[in-house]
Structure 1
Amino acid sequence: MEKKDLRIIFMGTPEFAVGTLDKLVTEGYNVVAVVTQPDKPVGRHQDCAQPSQVKLYAEAHQLPVLQPEKMKDPVFIKELQSFQADLQVVVAFRMLPEIVWAMPKFGTFNVHAALLPQYRGAAPINWAIINGEKITGVTTFFLDQEIDTGHIILQKEFLIPETADVEYVYNGLMQLGAEAAVETIDRILSSGGNIESTDQSVLIHSMALQSGELRLAPKIFKDTCEINWNQPAKRVYDFIRGLSPYPGAWSASLILKTGNSQMEQLPTIKIYQAQQSDKTCDEKPGTLIIEGKHLYVACVDCWLEIRIIQPAGKKRMNAIDFINGKKNHR
């Protein structure tokens, strides 16, 4: 079977998924339909419907779009079957029931933004950076009954620079994931569907023998993003870049210490960029000081320089603008 004959249904919702869909379309794979989330109500009165990025792309390329409220809806199942797909490709979508993922003769594979079995879950990019990983990557695997547990087809590694934030890694993995999807499809085609894959339990067993730690990537909520200053500056630094530019790490416990030793409790502040330093300190963690054009916050071992900040009710600003604002109000 040639790629133009392989009938593919693509499933995804956010921009991250568009990277793979675009590569399939531009390289001539036969995408017969796209499945994405229903339009999301937005606006003050929730009276406007916002389509997903995948839907916008699909419509721009005249691809049929399905938007089921429930994946087990008989009407949706019947419509999905009508496309007679040989393979389904999933990127950043919801959990699928067996009646959906087992439908195509070649099965359904997912592109996950981590090196499974590490970082199973909804936010693998964020957690890899938060945990200070130097290497992440993408994994393609066949779907099964549980989330992110299926047999691995292939993996590609991606280096995380010391200063990288989520946006940098997101963009890199979006491109790498698209390449992995194409390579996976080509392997399926060349093998006639009898593609080799690896049971994740084998990898987990190997990790256990090597005393490796299995790390998860659960969904991130607002409370998850609160900064704990009572830890080493490197941990705080990784936490900040692991939540930048979205949703943003925040703190409601910062205290600004001025030159005359006065203390000012600051309202909730988001921090989007920091810079490591080797300046040791003995101030209480969470104490903020101004030194010339620099803004520092105390951690348990040393000072961390703050570069980009957003006070409550204001726009993001460079630290120097925050400093100037404080000086003008003294």
Structure 2
Amino acid sequence: MKSLKVVFLGTPEFAKTSLEAIHQSSHEVVGVVTVADKASGRGQKISQSPVKVYASENNIPVFQPEKLRNPEFLEELRKLEADVFVVVAFRMMPKVLFEMPKIGTFNLHASLLPDYRGAAPINYAVINGEEKTGATTFFINEKIDEGNILLQEELEILPDENAGSLHDRLMIMGSKLVVKTLNGLAENSITERPQPHVEHPKNAYKIFKEDTKINWNAPSKTVHQFILGMSPYPAAFTTIKIGEEEKGLKIFAGKFEIDNHGKPSGTLDISKNDFKIYTEDGVYFPQELQLEGKKRMSVKDFLNGFRNFDEISL
């Protein structure tokens, strides 16, 4: 099989796993493009992306352009004479960049396209209670996540699985799919196909802070899936009143029961041994949570931190 020369573009851990898989395959990674180093944390220490760390450890040339249209950067990439660019969890790319390699530029997306185009496909698959999802490799064009499909693979979503667990499983499955795609392109054995037309494809828009608030007026199952789909990141939250002070409360895990309780949705029932919130059609029991300014903890440890439960409400 022909060995392809690959330029890899990506940033987070999800991308690093694919880079590692390509590097360990018969194909040659001739360059890596990733985000610029940035200061983070309390000490404002300079941090490098997981992709850069791996590339540096394995002596792969790294490019960190501020602007992807920078002529000097583009010229440096051209000199690498790559056959194909592989994109995993990167950013929007200009046409001058994705049209550079002779085979083209393909992307790994963590959904079964055309469903869940956008920035948060894993979160929304869980939030919407899907029973399966998957990964797709497709050629990039000028429309976001709409290029011709190369390969797809399905993955079952497990009962009560959260976005974090699904992310990790898709990360491994996706890395294998990337190598399989490269092998197919090298052998000229993949027939690209347009994405099927769907009147109303399910979307996976970027999640903002205001999108993570829990709606207790919803059915219990909807609340449960929402919390799983936001866990561990960006984390679903509600607000809680402790005396006169209102604080954010992130909820990462819990369980629910259907119950014709007749109480207003969003009512809190809390005591030394019990913490439940009434929903439209039942009760939700938080099991892992994090009060604003505190660390993540079990509900037992959370309840042990209070003495006067009468002053706590939603």
- Fold in common (TM above 0.5): yes
Equivalent runs, 1:233-244 vs 2, <5 Å: 233-244=220-231
Residue 76 (structure 2) aligns with: 79
Out of 183, 190, 198, the position equivalent to 2:193 is 198
* C-alpha distance in 1 between matches for 2:173 and 2:31: 23
Contact 1:98 1:145 in 2 (8 A): yes
Residue 189 (structure 1) aligns with: 186
User: Are 2:55 and 1:58 equivalent residues in the alignment?
Assistant: yes
* C-alpha distance in 2 between matches for 1:51 and 1:112: 23
User: Are 2:7 and 1:12 equivalent residues in the alignment?
Assistant: no
User: Are 2:269 and 1:272 equivalent residues in the alignment?
Assistant: no
Q: Kindly state the Cα deviation for residue 2 of structure 1 after the two structures are TM-superposed.
A: 1.5
SS in structure 1 opposite 2:85? strand
Residue 112 (structure 1) aligns with: 109
Equivalent runs, 1:170-319 vs 2, <5 Å: 170-191=167-188, 195-200=190-195, 203-204=196-197, 207-208=198-199, 213-252=200-239, 254=240, 267-290=247-270, 293-319=273-299
Q: Kindly state the Cα deviation for residue 292 of structure 1 after the two structures are TM-superposed.
A: 6.7
SS in structure 2 opposite 1:129? helix
Q: What letter is aligned with 2:18?
A: T
For these two proteins, the number of residue pairs brought into alignment is 310
* C-alpha distance in 2 between matches for 1:160 and 1:294: 30
**288-297 or 85-94, which deviates more:** 288-297
Q: Kindly state the Cα deviation for residue 285 of structure 1 after the two structures are TM-superposed.
A: 1.4
Out of 45, 64, 68, the position equivalent to 1:67 is 64
- Which segments of 5 or more consecutive residues in structure 1 lack a partner in the other structure? 257-262
Change (3 A) 1:329 1:291: closer
SS in structure 1 opposite 2:247? coil
Change (3 A) 1:329 1:231: closer
Contact 1:280 1:303 in 2 (8 A): no
- Which segments of 5 or more consecutive residues in structure 2 lack a partner in the other structure? none
Out of 124, 134, 144, the position equivalent to 1:127 is 124
Give the ranges of 4+ consecutive aligned residues of structure 1 lying more than 3 Å apart after TM superposition: 43-46, 263-266, 290-294, 327-330
Q: Kindly state the Cα deviation for residue 131 of structure 1 after the two structures are TM-superposed.
A: 1.1
Q: Kindly state the Cα deviation for residue 198 of structure 1 after the two structures are TM-superposed.
A: 1.4
TM-superposition CA deviations, 1:245-277 (whole Å, max 9, x none): 11111112x469xxxxxx988522110101122
Contact 2:271 2:303 in 1 (8 A): no
| TM-score after normalising by structure 1 | 0.89
Q: What letter is aligned with 1:16?
A: F
* C-alpha distance in 2 between matches for 1:155 and 1:288: 44
Q: What letter is aligned with 2:147?
A: G
Contact 2:265 2:280 in 1 (8 A): yes
SS in structure 1 opposite 2:305? helix
Out of 146, 157, 161, the position equivalent to 1:160 is 157
| TM-score after normalising by structure 2 | 0.93
Q: Kindly state the Cα deviation for residue 49 of structure 1 after the two structures are TM-superposed.
A: 2.1
* C-alpha distance in 2 between matches for 1:232 and 1:328: 30
SS in structure 1 opposite 2:259? strand
* C-alpha distance in 1 between matches for 2:70 and 2:228: 40
Residue 260 (structure 1) aligns with: none
Q: What letter is aligned with 1:118?
A: D
Change (3 A) 1:264 1:274: farther
* C-alpha distance in 1 between matches for 2:309 and 2:124: 38
Residue 95 (structure 1) aligns with: 92
Q: What letter is aligned with 1:112?
A: H
* C-alpha distance in 2 between matches for 1:248 and 1:141: 30
Q: What letter is aligned with 1:89?
A: V
Out of 135, 139, 153, the position equivalent to 1:138 is 135
